[in-house]
Structure 1
Amino acid sequence: MAISQHPEHFHDLPVFDLVPALQEGAELPEPAAVAWKIGLEYDSAETFRQRWEEFLDRVDTTLVRALVIGAWWQDEQKPAAETVELITANAGRLPALRALFLGEVTYEECEISWIQQSDVTPLLTAFPALEELVVRGAGGDWDGNGGLRLDPVRHPALRSLRLESGGLPAEVVRAVGACDLPALEQLELWLGVDQYGGDSTVADLEPILAGLRLPALRRLGLLDSLAQDEIAAAVAQAPVVARLEHLGLSMGLLTDAGAGALLEGQPLTHLKSLDLHHHYLSDGMQQRLTTALAGVDVDLSEAGKPDERWRYVAVAE
């Protein structure tokens, strides 16, 4: 599954791409009415810093509620550290910011595994009122760069955290589990494959599955993993599941073994939805799931063949 489309909405606001509007001389919307997108096209003549300064000059940023950051590089990849620094250095000019998407890039612009992130901890510390954070890409030691980093923090306001990656480093997974996020309602991790830095294990997920630092969690997605069966088995016994409304175990190598563990574990009938799309379940197991969870919206789309020799996660490179 390559990410091929830009989102039309973010944080319940329509996404407005600032740069084309400035180039065309179009009228700008009210600052609080849209999610402002800022980024570079391939081989752009401008730098991200120049475009960021245009944004600060042309928009009343004290009213901006959501930011979408596209490509921050021109014709050659570079880590996001300078971009993160630009955003956090201007935190005082963005007092109303509640949502941030860092790395909103499609595969035609850059494969997800090549998006070079950096330490995103400053985004949480600089914006204590932030409610939603999405980070796409990781990079990392597999390609000789520093890659995505996160230090354990306490953040009282964050309600939604999504880390999209073809390979999420184990230290980032552990950091998420060590964060104190009392307001977090939704957590989604794209774990990916070790070829692209996704070296986490089920043990790294244990603090998340225990849920002690996530008292408000209602939606959990542990996705895109080679070890989806082992994750499903751990989830089947996890304390956090009893309070969830939505559970996602999609995009990975889920087989009958993992689905069977789910059915044999704690009850899941309290869920509103269970997302298992992109799986390798037999027809019989799919029927068992839909029968046992008749009141749950179970997504079993994108079924692979259970005996398929070459199995793959939905998002890697």
Structure 2
Amino acid sequence: MVGHLSELHGLPVHDFAPDAPAGDLPPAGSVAWRLSFNPYVDDGPKGGFEGLWRMFTETVDTAAVRALVIGQWGEVSEYGPDFVVEMLTSDTERFPSLEAVFIGDVTFEEAEISWIEQSDVTPVLEAYPRLREFGVRGGTGLVFRPVRHEHLRTLRFESGGLPGGVVRGVAASDLPALEELELWLGVTDYGGDATVADLAPILTGERLPALRSLGLTDSELQDEIAAAVASAPVVARLHTLDLSMGTLTDTGAEALLSGQPLTHLTKLDLSHHFLSDAMMARIREELEGAGVDVDLSDQEKPEEHNGETWRYVAVSE
């Protein structure tokens, strides 16, 4: 289950209410402002999301705004946020202090993650060269082109199926300040067609010299990813490695334990997995005994259907 963000860039998320008195609004730089237009609510602002945006920029001191969360922009399962990206990138002079943006803060009650239509979000990074944190939820129609960005520290893509083109775009980007990267890779049935080979440039770490936290999660290829991570150069300088939410089995865990040392990690997240009790005990002995915080919660059991074994990721549809 994927819920609304409660914070972004260390700031609590605050919903912008168009009918709230100006005196009741928090200081512009003290919160992450969430803008969301639900087309099924009768008392929504005139002009839809565009009207909400206009009211926001006229009411709030946008020069002090540090973080923006974009929720529903209307029928999110019918059309993407191209016009939202256009408004955001054409109003850069209004947001000289902007440090963080998240596009697609939509819950399953509003639209399943696989139903969220996205767009080319690269212009946001191109328009805000001093942005420090950027995140997107939803993979359908999502485009991310290779960029060079000097100041981005956190990049996050949440999806039930992340397009291979997006993964390759990230892998080909030069992000010298990036400290945290999280990719929800998802499944092929929902567009997650990235391969382990697509991840290879990320795993070398050559374009990501500052990377300290890496999440390659929610994948039906979790065993293969674990095997690739086991010998990946970037791992030696990580403090957090996240391989959670996927279909990890004893095969992938064995590859991890047989590869390069992981005892330098502060945290290893393997939650939502298909590991045996014996393998869980071995991981705890070898890694927790060395001081690594290992998350082995949510042990799942494979399902048998018509003689076939089925394993499932945590987030797909």
Do the structures match in fold with TM over 0.5? yes
Q: Which amino acid aligns with 2:65?
A: V
Question: What is the aligned partner in structure 2 of residue 159 from structure 1?
Answer: 153
- Asked whether 1:262 is paired with 2:260, we answer no
Question: What is the aligned partner in structure 1 of residue 7 from structure 2?
Answer: 9
- Asked whether 1:41 is paired with 2:38, we answer yes
Q: Following superposition, which runs of at least 4 residues in structure 1 exceed 6 angstroms of deviation?
A: none
Question: What is the aligned partner in structure 1 of residue 56 from structure 2?
Answer: 55
Cα distance in structure 2, aligned partners of 1:35 and 1:162: 17
Measured after TM superposition, the shift of residue 138 of structure 1 is 1.4
Q: Which amino acid aligns with 2:14?
A: F
Question: What is the aligned partner in structure 1 of residue 298 from structure 2?
Answer: 302
- Partner of 1:16: helix, strand, or coil? strand
Q: Which amino acid aligns with 1:242?
A: A
> Structure 2 length normalisation: TM-score?
0.94
Q: Alignment RMSD, CA only?
A: 1.3
Cα distance in structure 2, aligned partners of 1:75 and 1:216: 35
Give the share of equivalent positions with the same residue, in percent: 59
Measured after TM superposition, the shift of residue 76 of structure 1 is 6.0
Within 5 A, what are the aligned runs for 1:181-200? 181-200=175-194
Range with bigger deviation, 34-43 or 56-65: 34-43
Cα distance in structure 1, aligned partners of 2:112 and 2:142: 15
Q: Which amino acid aligns with 1:59?
A: V
Question: What is the aligned partner in structure 2 of residue 143 from structure 1?
Answer: none
- Partner of 2:72: helix, strand, or coil? coil
Measured after TM superposition, the shift of residue 310 of structure 1 is 2.8
CA distances 1:103-159 after superposition (whole Å, capped 9, x unpaired): 0011001100111110011000000000000100011xxxxxxx1001111000000
Match of residue 164, structure 2, among 162, 170, 178: 170
Q: Which amino acid aligns with 1:163?
A: F
What is the count of residue pairs matched by the alignment? 306
Cα distance in structure 2, aligned partners of 1:118 and 1:60: 28
CA distances 1:6-39 after superposition (whole Å, capped 9, x unpaired): 22221111111012xx324361111111111101
Cα distance in structure 1, aligned partners of 2:160 and 2:123: 23
Within 5 A, what are the aligned runs for 1:64-143? 64-74=65-75, 77-139=78-140
Cα distance in structure 2, aligned partners of 1:74 and 1:210: 40
Cα distance in structure 2, aligned partners of 1:182 and 1:313: 31
Measured after TM superposition, the shift of residue 230 of structure 1 is 0.2
Question: What is the aligned partner in structure 2 of residue 252 from structure 1?
Answer: 246
Cα distance in structure 2, aligned partners of 1:37 and 1:48: 12
Q: Which amino acid aligns with 2:226?
A: A
Q: Which amino acid aligns with 1:95?
A: P
Q: Which amino acid aligns with 2:276?
A: S
> Structure 1 length normalisation: TM-score?
0.94
Cα distance in structure 2, aligned partners of 1:178 and 1:11: 25
Q: Unaligned regions of 5+ residues in structure 1, if any?
A: 140-146
